[in-house]
């Protein structure tokens, strides 16, 4: 199924994974997929790294999901380190496997640029234009409710997002913790004449140090109320329970705000994701 067709039917919910780097991590991901599949999510998305080994790992996970047929995959794809020929070859493999959805991203520049090859695409919009012109797939793009960390201004950030979304079919956001960031972004896109569906990404906190690092990298704010809530907690189970409660509340507020779906970042673990789904009455858990 294409994500745009799923969204046309009604509100969606979905989960995100990253490709494993070791046999142990691969086994963990397989367990997570098997544990989340019975919830009957609308799709799984799989993140992507520009370097050679990471490309292969992403492709392998995506192709396996597509061939399994239970839950359609969304394959992340970045501009960084890709020629048109490489993009075409990868999308050809995806077409052969029945993959019908991609998320076109700019990608992160590595600390050592010599680790990657030449790039024919500078911005995500360049990649969207190329894929749209050459392949029949559903195209998603990234959105940053709190602005992309490299944005020069709020106005330019929203204009770039609007330009991407006019070409794409949907957007998926970076994680955030305040529903007002999402509402404001939707209002700003609407003011620019863009009304494509934007799926909010929700990250349940399961590790305090980890979420702090990820927020710093992505430009997401850790609000004071959140750090105050987590500060006295040290037991991993207590942290996860608080994180699930916070994420469930945010999801409830997002649905009330009219979000077209919910996209849960799993970090390749199923427990928190399942608990959120159960709390919201999603799936068949």
Q: Nearest-CA neighbor of 33 among 41, 140, 247?
A: 41
Q: Is the pTM of this model over 0.75?
A: yes
- Give CA–CA dist 36/51, Å, rounded: 28
What's the CATH number where 157 sits? 3.20.20.220
Q: Nearest-CA neighbor of 283 among 260, 262, 257?
A: 262
DSSP category for residue 114: G
Residue 284 binned pLDDT confidence (cut-offs 50, 70, 90): low
Whole-number percent of the chain with pLDDT over 70? 94
Q: What is the pLDDT of residues 106-124, one digit of tens each?
A: 876 655 555 666 778 888 9
Q: Largest alpha-carbon pair distance within the chain?
A: 53
Q: What is the pLDDT of residues 1-32, one digit of tens each?
A: 899 999 999 999 999 999 999 999 999 999 99
Provide the pLDDT for residue 219. Answer: 82
Is 285 domain-assigned? no
Provide the pLDDT for residue 56. Answer: 84
Residue 134 lies in domain: 3-280
Catalytic one of 16, 146, 188, 275: 16
Torsion sign over Cα 88, 93, 98, 100: negative
- Give CA–CA dist 48/91, Å, rounded: 14
Domains contained in the chain, number: 1
Provide the pLDDT for residue 285. Answer: 47
Q: What is the pLDDT of residues 28-61, one digit of tens each?
A: 999 999 999 999 999 999 998 655 557 788 899 9
Task: Count Cβ atoms within 10 A of the Cβ of residue 12 and give its class: 0-12 exposed, 13-18 middle, 19 or more buried.
Answer: buried
Residues near 60 by beta carbon (within 8 Å), at least 6 away in sequence: 19
Is 68 domain-assigned? yes
Q: What is the pairing mode between strands 170-175 and 73-78?
A: unpaired
Is 245 domain-assigned? yes
SS3 content of the chain, % helix, strand, coil (to 5): 50, 15, 35
Average pLDDT score over residue span 201-210:
95
Catalytic residue list contains 16: yes
Provide the pLDDT for residue 112. Answer: 58
Other C-beta atoms lying within 10 Å of the C-beta of residue 9: 9
Is 149 domain-assigned? yes
Mean pLDDT over each residue of the chain, to the nearest integer = 92
Containing H/E element for 201?
Answer: strand 198-202
Provide the pLDDT for residue 114. Answer: 59
């Amino acid at each position: 199924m294409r994500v745009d067709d799923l969204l046309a039917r009604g509100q969606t919910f979905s989960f995100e994974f990253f490709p494993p780097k070791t046999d142990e991590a691969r086994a963990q991901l397989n367990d997570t997929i098997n544990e989340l599949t019975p919830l009957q999510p609308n799709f799984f998305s799989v993140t992507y790294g520009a370097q050679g080994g990471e490309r292969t790992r992403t492709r392998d996970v995506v192709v396996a999901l597509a061939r399994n047929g239970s839950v359609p995959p969304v394959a992340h794809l970045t501009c960084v380190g890709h020629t048109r020929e490489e993009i075409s070859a990868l999308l050809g493999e995806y077409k052969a496997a029945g993959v019908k959805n991609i998320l076109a991203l700019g990608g992160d520049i590595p600390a050592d640029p010599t680790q990657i090859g030449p790039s024919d695409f500078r911005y995500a919009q360049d990649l969207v234009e190329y894929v749209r012109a050459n392949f029949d797939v559903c195209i998603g793009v990234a959105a940053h409710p709190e602005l992309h960390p490299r944005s020069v201004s709020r106005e330019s950030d929203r204009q770039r997002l609007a330009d991407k979304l006019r070409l794409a079919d949907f957007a998926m956001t970076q994680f955030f913790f305040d529903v007002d960031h999402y509402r404001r972004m939707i209002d700003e896109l609407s003011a620019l004449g863009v009304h494509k569906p934007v799926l909010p990404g929700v990250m349940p906190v399961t590790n305090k140090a980890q979420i702090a690092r990820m927020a710093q990298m992505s430009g997401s704010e850790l609000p004071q109320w959140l750090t105050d809530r987590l500060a006295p907690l040290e037991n991993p189970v207590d942290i996860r329970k608080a994180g699930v409660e916070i994420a469930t509340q945010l999801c409830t507020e997002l649905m009330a705000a009219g979000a077209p779906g919910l996209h849960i970042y799993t970090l390749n673990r199923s427990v928190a994701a399942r608990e959120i789904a159960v709390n919201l009455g999603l799936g068949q858990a």
